[in-house]
Structure 1
Amino acid sequence: MKQSRREEVDDDVSVGKKEEEAGYCSSSSISRLPEACLAHAISFTTPTDACRCSAVSADFQAAASSNAVWERFLPPDYDSILARADDPVDFTTSNKELFLSLAQDHVILDQRSKTC
């Protein structure tokens, strides 16, 4: 017999409580979160932490590499920074690649630490 969604949630909660009482937590419950939700949470960390999140699981790697995460790490005026660049910058790269390129070239220095 198929469980209702509420029964599934109740089962997940009770399993989570048992795991918590046993001293460990299952990653399966967090892997049920949509990638966009994980990405949103990761975007409140630092670039270094976002890179570290990539090592947790394939779900975290996808979320941590998303353009939404790396958009938050780019300076608000990155368009004007790119317009003033001596060397042309490839706009087709991901926001992560753009951030890493700017950090490597020491362009991102205002209130940001060079990371990753």
Structure 2
Amino acid sequence: MSCLTDLPDECNAHILSLTSVSDVLRSSAVSKQLLSVCESDTVWEKLLPSDLDDILVQSSTPNLVQQFILKKNLFLHLCRFPVLLKTDTQSFSLNKQSGKKCYMIGARDLTIAWGDTPQYWSWKVVPESRFPETAVLQDVCWLDISGKFHVKFLSPNTTYGAYFVFKMDVNNHRGFDNTPMNVFISETDEHGLSRQCDIVVFKRFYLKAPTVRRRSRKPKELPTEREDGWMEVEMGRYHHIGVDEGAHEGMAVLMTLRQIDELHWKSGLVVQGIELRPLDGLMQ
């Protein structure tokens, strides 16, 4: 039985281009011959999104592809450094394990109730944020934040986790210890109309661990710290089957965080955005 090292480089490159990122990286350690093949543009061009040029044209660096001699280096750059889109209100990157597309909807692209009323919300530059502005909660008793994203831009046949990304003002926050947030993930069409059976996820979580444990909290109900220092909590999961497999091209996923039942005054929440990350192939 022949093995990969017995085949011409062109055949190996074609075979590896049909596999996954992890398969390519593992194969590169087999031999010097396969290492050379695994570095080739033939392999990495297939691992990059087919609509990459269309995505980057929305960014401030539309010619990013031309800045890299090797497609592998372009791939790794997009894994490490999110590209800002839509006048710096969204970001795009790649998942290093799967090569699938990741997006974050920045605070300026979210719908925030009273978000433009200075007595309730302010907009500030936070150096650690990937976006020019973040939304800072001054004082509200009615919290309602939502983000909408067109599913045609997501990787097909992929389950995404939706994550609310935020911080708390350490010197001035209140109202979140014992007040759970309600979260809805649903589908809408391009006109904002809900489709039948549109609610995909409904759940509750807390944005801050309680100082007094009135009742036990499950780990999935509490936020965790990210590598970049921000906090996040999983709002829910959404499976995108792909536009060609039945999803309407104009369909969007709507992610809503809301607390309008327990009208406690809240302050000190710093919102960076809502991130959509592929979960396929990752340990859960």
Q: What displacement does 1:70 show?
A: 0.7
Structure ranking higher on relative contact order (CA contacts 8 Å, 6+ apart): 2
Q: Which residue of the partner structure matches residue 64 of structure 1?
A: 38
CA distance in 2: counterparts of 1:70 and 1:58, whole angstroms? 18
CA distance in 1, matches of 2:15, 2:65: 28
- Pick closer, same or farther for the CA change 1:30–1:72 going to 2, 3 Å: closer
| Aligned-pair CA distance for 1:66 | 1.0
**1:58 & 1:105 partners in 2: Cα distance?**
29
Higher strand share: 2
Match of 2:70 in 1: 94
More helix by share: 1
After superposition, the Cα gap between the structure-2 partners of 1:95 and 1:76, relative to the gap in structure 1 and judged at 3 Å, is: same
Q: How big is the shift at 1:61?
A: 0.6
Distance 1:70 1:59, change over 3 A: same
Identity, % of aligned pairs? Answer: 33
Q: Which residue does 1:21 correspond to in 2?
A: none
Aligned partners of 1:84 and 1:94: how far apart in 2? Answer: 22
Count of aligned pairs: 88
Q: Which moved more, 1:81-90 or 1:44-53?
A: 81-90
2:64 is the alignment partner of 1:82:
no
In structure 2, stretches of 5+ residues that fail to align are 83-92, 95-101, 103-153, 159-277, 280-284
Instruction: Please give the root-mean-square deviation of Cα atoms over the aligned residues, in Å.
Output: 2.5
Aligned to 1:50: 24
**Structure 1 unaligned residues grouped into runs of 5+:** 1-15, 17-26
Q: CA deviation at 1:95?
A: 1.1
2:17 corresponds to which letter in structure 1?
S
Q: Say which SS state the counterpart of residue 98 (structure 1) adopts.
A: helix
Deviations 1:41-100 (A, max 9, x none): 111111121111111101111111111111111111111222223346251421111111
Q: Distance in 2 between matches of 1:63 and 1:55?
A: 11
Runs of 4 or more consecutive aligned structure 1 residues displaced over 3 Å after TM superposition: none
